[in-house]
Structure 1
Amino acid sequence: MRVPRYGGGRLWRRPGPITRGITLVTTAVALVAVVLTGVTAWYLVRTGAEAQQRDQLGRQAEVLSRTPALSELLLDREQRLAGSNGQQVAVVTPGGETVGPASAAVDDRTRTRLLDGRAVSAQASLDGTQVLIEGRPAPGGGGVVLTQPYLVVHDSVARMRGALPLPLAVGLVGGGLAGLLLARRLSRPLTAAATTARRLAEGERGLRAAPGGPRELTDLTSALNVLDEALAHSENRQREFLLSVSHELRTPLTATLGYAEALADGVIGPEDLPMVGETLLSETRRLERFVRDLLDLAHLETDDFRVETRPVDLDALVEKAGTVWAARCARHGVVLRVERPGRPLSVETDGVRVRQIIDGLAENALRVTPAGAPLVLALAPDGDAARIQVRDGGPGLTPEDAAVAFERGTLHARYQGVRPVGTGLGLAIVHRLTQRLGGAVTARGRGPEGGACFTVRLPRRPGPTD
């Protein structure tokens, strides 16, 4: 049995995938940084070691160059002192003569620079060995040259490079630990957000992701909370809509089933058959219309819904629609009035879909318009768009009604049994169709005729649709 381990007073838990991933990334970054630092330091060590040796050698040469009367006795003493470090001395006299053990390393260029009063820093070969050369001019002319085997630089480089692995290893371990701590800090809100998203996907609602961590993670948790609220609101609306749909289907189905059973049992006499047939036909058409609206709305929500745009004369289209609806309005005692420019009003759109929008709004208006009241179908240019209005002389809408007029089934549920209603989907279909055409539709509770006013704006040129 695995024994729980504790650390810092808390039960130790194995790091999750997010923590492990962030730790691996930060450790890899630390490793790359350490390797790059090591490679850079590896090459810089030689430059630094040589510069350090030259600096020391140059300081000694500077001190010797200021010693008065560089006699052979003094030169011999200085050579003995310098020789303990492998250094050798050469003196360039004011007359240009070079004396001392290191004379072979002093070439004409070095001699000329010293006689000109300029310092020398170079490399040369002395007795078959590479040496560093540092020369300093003397105040009275000439100068002093000190040489040191380049092997000293190699030894210094080896010592410095030998000391590099330890700090690099410490840096790597520190980077890994820092990555682990950072990963734990970042993974907590990420893990919480992932858990919340998974529970949302499984259908849970009312979840609240606690904000924490950097701003991006706080934005993520806030977005999840907004998504939770939006999903809950959407699902509640869908639930209410499905309840409304089930109620609408149940009524005609119950009537149809009752009459069908009566016919099957032979309890309906011949004199009642016309009435029963008419009722069955009416209820069947009601079901057919409801199912058709459901299918239309579902089709509008799909990505493969096609809109075929071409130049359409809306003036001619509204005239034809007015002819059809004038006859239907007359059967209900409603007076249809058509207002249009009387000249071509061309728009790049889908004429079939525009006619579908007009028919949907007109059918909705005719349903609530009493006999003798007007119904108006109006068309007018509106800047870079065309404006289509359907106004009626019915009971109108409240501001609250207008705000939710295009939500599926909302007005239907609100006014069922109060005023004539349809399937509850017509205005939602109009709204989605208008969006697909790149336009916009709005509802106003009171128009000039006293009833509701619906306005559709269609751009002259097609734009992006969602």
Structure 2
Amino acid sequence: MSGGRTPCGSLTRAVVGLTTAVAALAVLLTGLVTWQSAAHGAEQRERELLTRQATVLSRVPDLSPLLFNGAQVLGGPNGEEFAVLTPDGRVAGVATPALDTASRAALLAGRPVSTTGVLAGQEVLLVGRPSLRGGAVVLTEPYSVVDRNTGRIRRSTVLPLLVGMVGAALAGALLARRTARPLVAAAHVAHRLAGGERGVRASVDGPREAAEIIHALDVLDAALARSENRQRDFLLSVSHELRTPLTALQGYAEALADGLIGPARLPEVGRILADETQRLDRFLGDLLDLARLEAEDFRLDTGRTDLAALVAEAAAFWAGPGAGHGVRLRVEPAAGPVPAGPPPVVDTDAFRVRQLIDGLVRNALRVTPAGGDLVLAVRPAAGGGAHLQVRDSGPGLTDDDVRVAFDAGALYERYRATRPVGSGLGLAIAHRLSGLLGGTIGVEGHGPEGGAAFTVTLPPTAGRADRARPAP
């Protein structure tokens, strides 16, 4: 069962849906506010109209004749009714029943009134204004006029709100298409890369983040091309290295089977066959080591390790092969930026560290000429841990060599015709081992002895730098 997440739809649909949802929410909130404010606005407008009329009438010198004679004309189509409050408190006019005691007292005291009341069984707006000579003018209007105006305002807002929602959806669609276009292009490029195509390029047309994705895919494309070229070259060199001893073995085996080799040459042929099989065995052993280091079940058996003692042990073992090659092998005492003190002790896998040292020494011994030096050094590292060094007086490495030194087969292909070489896997194994131990490995093209200088830095406690897993 896959642990990945199931895709939940296209980005375009997601952006359109999100934009439409936001627009719908905005429209809904706007509609609610408009719906509530429409009634208040309509009522306020009618009160202002009644107030202006009442103010005009209240300034007429003789209220009663004017009001009663022109009441029908002034009432208009909205059902407005009038009443006149005299200075002595008497009220006359159709709107009289709507004027309550509190409103009457306020008007007689010279204060304006704006309230609601009941006239002929229906709710009305009531506005009163004191006159210049005492008394007041009272106007009423049915509240149904307010309701009618409120409905008209509300209906007039529906279409703009719907247009706004549609416009937001269209804007969201355009935005989604604009945003998704570079991502779709990036996905297309990624699929082509996954399908094995190389040199694929996508145009950068979109926001900065999309441009960064396209740039990352371009970098990945170049890295895949380099890696596959190196892998192809490595496989070619592997096949060549396997074919050479196999051809020799096959040739001598057929010659022996055909009786073409006399008894006098049998010891010589036997030595040749043994050398070729040993060469083949070493090569296959390196391949298996590299495969084991890449395995998920690779284990570390950690414990307190005296690195100085481990280096001395390795030096004692390699002293004999070094002398056989005419190479002086020595151990350099702790020195450098950290003062000499107690032997560096770290919590690591001693067997794997020894395997790492042996691989570097074997590589250095191969290129160091007779009469040269091979140095093993160990010293404490600042902040804990330790540095292990393997230096030689061989031909060294160029700056370009240093950049690819730990790529499987890279130096092998460069120097197979000019220097003694092994399987081409030793430095790749050393690099992998260093990482599995939680450390790092670096190389200087020309160290103190003139040749290459490899430095392994181990932490105080072993750990998997790239794929941490505790030892069982």
Q: Answer whether contact 1:75 1:100 (CA < 8 A) is retained.
A: no
2:313 to 320, 325, 333: 320
DSSP-derived class of the 1:389 partner? strand
Q: Answer whether contact 1:78 1:89 (CA < 8 A) is retained.
A: no
Give 1:151-230 correspondences, 5 Å limit: 151-230=144-223
Give CA-to-partner distance per residue, 1:133-156, whole Å, 9 cap, x none: 445566777755543222112212
Matched, 1:411 2:411: yes
Find the counterpart in structure 2 of residue 347 from structure 1: 346
Q: Between 144-153 and 179-188, report the one with greater CA deviation.
A: 179-188
AA paired with 1:362? V
AA paired with 2:210? L
Q: 1:289 to 1:77 in 2, by over 3 A?
A: farther
Give 1:80-91 correspondences, 5 Å limit: 80=72, 81-82=74-75, 84-90=77-83
AA paired with 2:451? G
Find the counterpart in structure 2 of residue 7 from structure 1: none
Give CA-to-partner distance per residue, 1:191-222, whole Å, 9 cap, x none: 43333222222211122211112223322322
Q: 1:261 to 1:48 in 2, by over 3 A?
A: farther
Matched, 1:336 2:321: no
Q: Tell me the distance in 2 between the aligned counterparts of 1:144 and 1:299.
A: 106
Deviation at 1:95, TM superposition (A): 6.8
Q: Answer whether contact 2:57 2:63 (CA < 8 A) is retained.
A: no
Q: Answer whether contact 2:349 2:462 (CA < 8 A) is retained.
A: no
Q: Tell me the distance in 2 between the aligned counterparts of 1:266 and 1:142.
A: 148
Q: 1:71 to 1:40 in 2, by over 3 A?
A: closer
Q: Answer whether contact 2:368 2:394 (CA < 8 A) is retained.
A: yes
Give 1:204-353 correspondences, 5 Å limit: 204-341=197-334, 343-353=342-352
TM-score normalised per structure 2: 0.82
Q: Tell me the distance in 1 between the aligned counterparts of 2:320 and 2:348.
A: 27
Find the counterpart in structure 2 of residue 390 from structure 1: 390
DSSP-derived class of the 1:370 partner? coil
Q: Tell me the distance in 2 between the aligned counterparts of 1:204 and 1:448.
A: 46
Q: Tell me the distance in 1 between the aligned counterparts of 2:137 and 2:428.
A: 101
Deviation at 1:30, TM superposition (A): 4.3
DSSP-derived class of the 2:371 partner? coil
2:63 to 58, 71, 79: 71
DSSP-derived class of the 1:163 partner? helix
Find the counterpart in structure 1 of residue 439 from structure 2: 439
Q: 1:173 to 1:266 in 2, by over 3 A?
A: same
Q: Tell me the distance in 1 between the aligned counterparts of 2:130 and 2:284.
A: 108
Find the counterpart in structure 1 of residue 364 from structure 2: 365
Deviation at 1:373, TM superposition (A): 2.0
Q: Tell me the distance in 1 between the aligned counterparts of 2:11 and 2:31.
A: 30
Q: Tell me the distance in 1 between the aligned counterparts of 2:409 and 2:117.
A: 98
AA paired with 1:440? T
TM-score normalised per structure 1: 0.83
Give the count of matched residue pairs.
Answer: 450
Find the counterpart in structure 2 of residue 429 from structure 1: 429
AA paired with 1:73? P
Find the counterpart in structure 2 of residue 5 from structure 1: none
Find the counterpart in structure 2 of residue 453 from structure 1: 453
Give CA-to-partner distance per residue, 1:293-330, whole Å, 9 cap, x none: 22333343455544455543323332333332334323
DSSP-derived class of the 1:51 partner? helix
Deviation at 1:236, TM superposition (A): 1.5
DSSP-derived class of the 2:78 partner? coil
Consecutive unaligned residues of structure 1, counting only runs of 5 or more, are 1-15
Give 1:3-18 correspondences, 5 Å limit: none
Deviation at 1:411, TM superposition (A): 1.0
Q: 1:167 to 1:266 in 2, by over 3 A?
A: same
Q: Tell me the distance in 1 between the aligned counterparts of 2:222 and 2:455.
A: 31
Q: Between 19-28 and 126-135, report the one with greater CA deviation.
A: 19-28
Deviation at 1:110, TM superposition (A): 4.3
AA paired with 1:346? V
Q: 1:146 to 1:426 in 2, by over 3 A?
A: farther
* Percent identity over paired residues: 57
AA paired with 2:315? G
DSSP-derived class of the 1:442 partner? strand
Q: Tell me the distance in 2 between the aligned counterparts of 1:141 and 1:433.
A: 109
Q: Tell me the distance in 2 between the aligned counterparts of 1:372 and 1:348.
A: 37
